[in-house]
């Protein structure tokens, strides 16, 4: 028998012992219930995660606290390593998450040298950059408004000196730094008081270059990457950003999302205007909209690049998380091949003459300079007409939902039968992570949101997330702590084999009476999985799910009472059945975590058996079973006496939830 999860057992409140706040408020209970049901049935039921879990981790092994609040952090982790570095205020924290041992933390103090700061806050050294460099790490920080770098080897920091462009003057600036071999690119301004217009620069390696001040309007940089193409001279830098929409029409969105391209081999131009500027800049709009429902998602939040397993750069998948003005989100997937094609073939917006030769944006071999005419055309018409659209025949988002997603990483994995899945980990503005599985080929692709994880001891915004495919962990940090979350989190699925398979989690399966990770069981013992949510799950040793244990309660006639059934699966419809009639039904998207049946005035006919049943596709199981007994004799009265106090407090506890549910709608 599977007992109900602790803390979720139902309890009732006999009328006599409970004051009736509802009666006092003058709103009839039935009306409230009706409103409640109507309100609860709205929303976007199955786009949300099926199961929600607070993840405790192994004591001592998976969470470490900074010991104080770190409002600005930067996280560095190298896949396969057990170390995680976090840069904070005048400090670098080094965490060790070695397997089978308790996690440990060391700190290296890197205080500001001397600076030109004004107040106390300002005089700190906010670490904003951590990057692998040889044996150690390159560490850069604001250093009291005198951006500087250090090398960190064996827990000892050595000052390298002032480094403009590697760290901003204050911690919350819009900064992006990209390393590629000996080259460094940055969006950080070099001068504190002039040069306020953000630029994308090459600050180390070949000749220093920057973008013209007219090619972007108030950009917010999101991500930059180098793409090695078939010919070295064709290597590109792509960067993703948002900018103000030049279209000031009140109907038009305030922001537009973009991808820009630059040739890595760009040497700048020959004329005085073009000499230290990028000569190969072009930008294109990234579209993420669903034409059928007329939903547009214009604000790019994050980008993750998933390389092709066969090393074809054109097939690199570019996952973009977007939001709309209501903070709903969509994920759109692009390919680098499509982005490259748009830049190679599109005409330029607002330019109606013949394009010069070589065309703007073309990379030239042998470090040839771009002719001035080509530069001038590109510089005055930096946007291409064609827009970058999502892959797939319909060019629509992979999915959209009412959650406000902020960051994304994607893991390509193989289930026990060898089938490939892309698993998305999305952070929400509530400090949780959603695990969303994308399966199948594009045309028949299925997207299924399987789990919401609360990764911290203390709920807080997720500041950074790093995926380690080798160790199969996610590393996340808030302002308080760092957590190591396993990708194969299988212990959160309850209800035996059926609960395990219905989770549709490609990392988990049923083996020897347990829901286990596919990585934990030997190859000779394949685990049972049933990942496709479009098909009924099958193969459990016992084809019928177990029945819920019977729970009994004795009640006086005319009592007021309620039964509560925890809605573990947010994709299922929960119903309270009594005799042959359904007394209460809670659809997916229900606001409360429980499906509650209120009995206002217990009559003769209402005694008996109550079943809470969950229906999800073709899967039906019994979640709760209660028997309401007639209260008679002394035997039950002392039991009930004890239950009453608790019951009363629970009854009062449910009201705020109910009211809240009504208010938010
Ligand atoms: C690991 O941490 C847990 C919880 O903090 C603690 O109970 C346990 O003693 C620790 N083990 C070792 C080996 O330090
Ligand atoms: C760091 O420590 C390792 C091993 O303890 C040692 O081999 C190496 O020389 C040290 N490096 C520096 C720069 O001190
Ligand atoms: C986008 O629009 C908001 C107003 O909603 C504005 O504050 C912001 O500066 C705009 N630009 C970017 C790049 O986000
Ligand atoms: C959307 O989210 C942003 C930041 O998370 C917040 O400032 C803003 O108020 C939200 N907008 C709406 C309409 O909820
Ligand atoms: C419950 O029903 C009985 C009989 O129908 C009635 O006398 C009583 O007033 C009712 N109690 C409440 C609280 O409505």
Tally: H helices and E strands in the chain: 6, 40
- With H, G, I as helix, E, B as strand and everything else as coil, classify residue 70: coil
Residue pointed to by tokens 């107040």: 119
**Chain-centre distance for alpha carbon 428:** 5
Residue pair 574/583 in contact (Cβ under 8 Å)? The answer is no
Peptide bond into 129 cis (omega under 30): no
pLDDT, tens only, 595-638: 999 999 999 999 999 999 999 999 999 999 999 998 874 444 44
Ligand 1 site, residue 60, Cβ cutoff 6 A: yes
3-state secondary structure 429-488: CCCCEEEEEEECCCCCCEEEEEEEEECCCCCCCCCEEEEECCCCEEEEECCCEEEEEECC
Q: What is the pLDDT of residue 545?
A: 87
Q: What is the pLDDT of residue 421?
A: 94
Q: What is the pLDDT of residue 374?
A: 95
Mutational pocket test of ligand 2: of 83, 154, 158, the residue with most ligand atoms within 8 Å of the beta carbon? 154
Across 10-16, average pLDDT = 29
Cβ neighbours around 307 below 10 Å, total? 14
CA 346 to CA 391: how far, in whole Å?
Answer: 18
Instruction: Decide the pairing of beta strands 464-468 and 63-65.
Output: unpaired
In 48-90, DSSP assigns E strands to 51-54, 63-65, 74-77, 83-87
Q: Which of 12-16, 180-184, 575-579 shows the lowest mean pLDDT across its residues?
A: 12-16
Residue 656 pLDDT grade (very low, low, confident, very high; cuts 50, 70, 90): very low
Mutational pocket test of ligand 3: of 197, 217, 244, 248, the residue with most ligand atoms within 8 Å of the beta carbon? 244
Across 524-529, average pLDDT = 86
CA 624 to CA 614: how far, in whole Å?
Answer: 9
Residue pointed to by tokens 């309850």: 494
CA–CA distances in Å: residue 402 to residues 42, 302, 319, 665 = 12, 17, 18, 14
Structure tokens belonging to residue 94:
């080094």
229 class by beta-carbon count within 10 Å (0-12 exposed, 13-18 middle, 19+ buried): middle
Q: N- to C-terminal Cα distance for the chain?
A: 38
Q: Identify the bridge partners of residue 373 per DSSP, sorted by sequence position.
A: none
Q: What is the pLDDT of residue 192?
A: 81
φ/ψ of 343, rounded to 5, equals -70, -30
Residue 224 pLDDT grade (very low, low, confident, very high; cuts 50, 70, 90): very high
CA angle 259, 224, 355 (to 5 degrees): 40
- Classify residue 431 as left (phi > 0), alpha (psi -120 to 50) or beta: left
Residues 6+ apart with CB under 8 A from 329: 297, 301, 321, 322, 323, 400, 401, 403, 404, 405, 426
The pLDDT of residue 340 is above 80: yes
CA 171 to CA 122: how far, in whole Å?
Answer: 9
Residues 6+ apart with CB under 8 A from 479: 66, 69, 70, 71, 73, 460, 461, 463
The pLDDT of residue 36 is above 70: no
CA 232 to CA 264: how far, in whole Å?
Answer: 9
| Nearest ligand by distance to the CA of 402 | 4
Structure tokens belonging to residue 610:
């109550």
pLDDT, tens only, 466-525: 999 999 999 999 999 999 999 999 999 988 999 999 999 999 999 989 999 999 877 777
CA–CA distances in Å: residue 438 to residues 293, 295, 425, 445, 470 = 21, 21, 11, 7, 20
The pLDDT of residue 28 is above 80: no
Answer with the residue of higher pLDDT: 41 or 522: 522
Residue 174 pLDDT grade (very low, low, confident, very high; cuts 50, 70, 90): confident
Torsion of CA 146, 152, 157, 163, to 10 degrees: -20
CA 657 to CA 664: how far, in whole Å?
Answer: 11
Ligand 1 site, residue 58, Cβ cutoff 6 A: no
CA 556 / ligand 5 centre spacing (Å) = 12
CA 461 to CA 475: how far, in whole Å?
Answer: 14
Q: What is the pLDDT of residue 252?
A: 87
Q: What is the pLDDT of residue 57?
A: 83
φ/ψ of 37, rounded to 5, equals -65, -40
Q: What is the pLDDT of residue 443?
A: 62
| Helix, strand, coil abundance in the chain, percent, nearest 5 | 15, 35, 50
Nearest protein Cα to ligand 2, atom 6 = 154
CA–CA distances in Å: residue 239 to residues 33, 226, 245, 260 = 52, 9, 18, 5
Q: What is the mean pLDDT of the chain?
A: 86
Q: What is the pLDDT of residue 636?
A: 46
Domains and CATH numbers, the chain: 174-315+328-396 (2.130.10.10), 496-539 (3.30.1680.10), 550-630 (2.60.40.10)
Across 347-373, average pLDDT = 93
Residue pair 116/84 in contact (Cβ under 8 Å)? The answer is no
Residues 6+ apart with CB under 8 A from 576: 563, 565, 582, 583, 584, 585, 595, 597, 610, 611, 612
CA 58 / ligand 1 centre spacing (Å) = 10
The pLDDT of residue 542 is above 50: yes
Q: What is the pLDDT of residue 546?
A: 87
The pLDDT of residue 646 is above 60: no
CA 373 to CA 361: how far, in whole Å?
Answer: 12
| Nearest ligand by distance to the CA of 558 | 5
pLDDT, tens only, 254-308: 999 999 999 999 999 988 888 999 999 999 999 999 988 889 999 999 999 999 9
| Nearest ligand by distance to the CA of 100 | 1
CA 528 to CA 421: how far, in whole Å?
Answer: 17
CA 587 to CA 660: how far, in whole Å?
Answer: 18
Nearest protein Cα to ligand 4, atom 8 = 327
Residue pointed to by tokens 């503005």: 429
CA 512 / ligand 3 centre spacing (Å) = 54
Cβ neighbours around 129 below 10 Å, total? 23
The pLDDT of residue 442 is above 90: no
pLDDT, tens only, 122-148: 788 999 999 999 889 999 999 998 999
Answer with the residue of higher pLDDT: 441 or 363: 363
Q: What is the pLDDT of residue 402?
A: 92
Nearest protein Cα to ligand 1, atom 11 = 102
Residue 446 pLDDT grade (very low, low, confident, very high; cuts 50, 70, 90): confident
Residue pair 300/240 in contact (Cβ under 8 Å)? The answer is yes
CA angle 312, 313, 319 (to 5 degrees): 115
Nearest protein Cα to ligand 3, atom 5 = 254
The pLDDT of residue 115 is above 70: no
Q: Which of 21-30, 187-196, 513-522, 594-603 shows the lowest mean pLDDT across its residues?
A: 21-30
Nearest protein Cα to ligand 5, atom 8 = 558
Q: Counting atoms of ligand 1 from 1, which one is nearest the CA of 102?
A: 1
Q: Counting atoms of ligand 5 from 1, which one is nearest the CA of 23?
A: 13
CA 566 to CA 304: how far, in whole Å?
Answer: 36
Q: What is the pLDDT of residue 99?
A: 87
Across 39-64, average pLDDT = 73
Q: What is the pLDDT of residue 123?
A: 84
Report which of 557, 644, 640 is spatially closest to residue 606, judged by C-alpha positions: 557
φ/ψ of 544, rounded to 5, equals -100, 130
Classify each residue of 395-429 as buried b or exposed e, where b means 16 or more C-beta atoms within 10 Å of its C-beta. Answer: bbbbbbbebbbbbbbbbebebbeeeebbbbbbbbe
Q: Counting atoms of ligand 5 from 1, which one is nearest the CA of 560?
A: 13
Q: Whole-structure pTM over 0.85, yes or no?
A: yes
Q: Identify the bridge partners of residue 334 per DSSP, sorted by sequence position.
A: 318
Mutational pocket test of ligand 4: of 220, 254, 327, the residue with most ligand atoms within 8 Å of the beta carbon? 327
Residue 94 pLDDT grade (very low, low, confident, very high; cuts 50, 70, 90): very high
The pLDDT of residue 25 is above 50: no
pLDDT, tens only, 406-439: 999 999 999 998 899 999 999 999 999 999 999 8
């Amino acid at each position: 028998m599977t007992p109900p999860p602790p803390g979720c057992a139902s309890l009732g409140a006999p009328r006599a012992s409970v004051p009736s706040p509802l009666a006092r408020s003058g709103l009839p209970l039935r009306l409230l219930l009706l409103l409640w049901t109507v309100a609860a049935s709205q929303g976007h039921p199955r786009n949300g995660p099926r199961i929600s879990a607070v993840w405790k981790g192994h004591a001592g092994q998976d969470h470490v606290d900074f010991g104080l609040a770190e409002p600005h952090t930067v996280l560095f982790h190298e896949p396969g390593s057990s170390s995680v570095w976090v840069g904070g205020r005048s400090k670098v924290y080094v965490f060790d998450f070695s397997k089978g041992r308790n996690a440990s933390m060391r700190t290296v103090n890197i205080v500001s040298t001397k600076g030109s700061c004004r107040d106390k806050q300002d005089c700190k050294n906010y670490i904003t950059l951590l990057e692998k460099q040889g044996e150690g790490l390159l560490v850069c920080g604001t250093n009291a408004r005198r951006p500087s770098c250090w090398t960190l080897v064996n827990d000892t920091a050595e000052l390298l000196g002032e480094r403009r462009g590697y760290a901003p003057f204050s911690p919350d600036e819009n900064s992006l730094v990209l390393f590629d071999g000996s080259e460094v690119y940055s969006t950080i301004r070099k001068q504190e008081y002039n040069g306020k217009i953000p630029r994308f620069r090459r600050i180390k390696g070949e000749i220093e270059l920057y973008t013209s001040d007219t090619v972007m309007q108030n950009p917010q940089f999101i991500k930059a990457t180098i793409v090695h193409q078939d010919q070295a001279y064709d290597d590109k830098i792509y960067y993703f950003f948002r900018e103000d929409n030049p279209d000031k029409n009140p109907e038009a969105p305030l922001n537009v999302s973009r991808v820009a391209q630059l040739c890595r081999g760009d040497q700048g131009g020959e004329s005085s205007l073009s000499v230290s500027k990028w000569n190969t800049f072009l930008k294109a709009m990234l579209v993420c909209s669903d034409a059928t429902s007329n939903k547009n998602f214009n604000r790019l939040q994050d980008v993750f690049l998933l390389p092709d397993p066969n090393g074809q750069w054109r097939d690199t998948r570019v996952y973009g998380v977007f939001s709309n003005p209501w903070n709903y989100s969509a994920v759109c997937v692009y390919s680098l091949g499509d982005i490259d094609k748009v830049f190679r073939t599109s005409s330029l917006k607002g330019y109606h003459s013949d394009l010069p030769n070589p065309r703007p944006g073309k990379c030239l071999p042998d470090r040839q300079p771009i002719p001035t005419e080509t530069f001038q055309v590109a510089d005055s018409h930096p946007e291409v007409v064609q827009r970058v659209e999502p892959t797939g025949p319909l060019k629509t988002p992979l999915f959209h939902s009412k959650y406000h997603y902020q960051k994304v990483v994607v893991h390509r994995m193989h289930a026990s039968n060898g089938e490939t899945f892309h698993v998305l980990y999305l952070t929400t503005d509530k400090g949780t992570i959603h695990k969303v599985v994308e399966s199948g080929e594009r045309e028949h692709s299925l997207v299924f949101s399987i789990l919401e994880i609360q990764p911290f001891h203390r709920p807080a915004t997720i500041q950074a997330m790093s995926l380690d495919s080798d160790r199969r962990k996610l590393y996340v940090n808030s302002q308080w702590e760092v957590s190591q979350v396993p990708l194969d989190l299988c212990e959160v699925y309850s209800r035996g084999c059926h609960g395990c398979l219905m989770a549709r989690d490609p990392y988990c399966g049923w083996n020897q009476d347990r829901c286990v990770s596919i990585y934990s069981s030997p190859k000779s013992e394949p685990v049972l999985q049933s990942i496709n949510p479009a098909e009924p799950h099958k193969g459990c040793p016992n084809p019928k799910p177990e029945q819920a244990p019977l729970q009994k309660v004795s009640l006086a006639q005319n009592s007021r009472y309620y039964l509560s059934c925890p809605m573990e699966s947010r994709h299922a419809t929960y119903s309270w059945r009594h005799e042959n009639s359904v007394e209460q039904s809670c659809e997916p998207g229900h606001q409360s975590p429980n499906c509650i049946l209120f009995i206002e005035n217990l009559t003769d006919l209402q005694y008996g058996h109550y079943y809470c049943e969950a229906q999800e596709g073709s899967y039906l199981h019994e979640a709760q079973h209660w028997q309401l007994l007639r209260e008679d004799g002394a035997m039950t009265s002392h039991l009930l006496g004890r239950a009453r106090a608790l019951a009363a407090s629970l009854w009062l506890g449910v009201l705020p939830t109910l009211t809240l549910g009504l208010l938010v709608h």
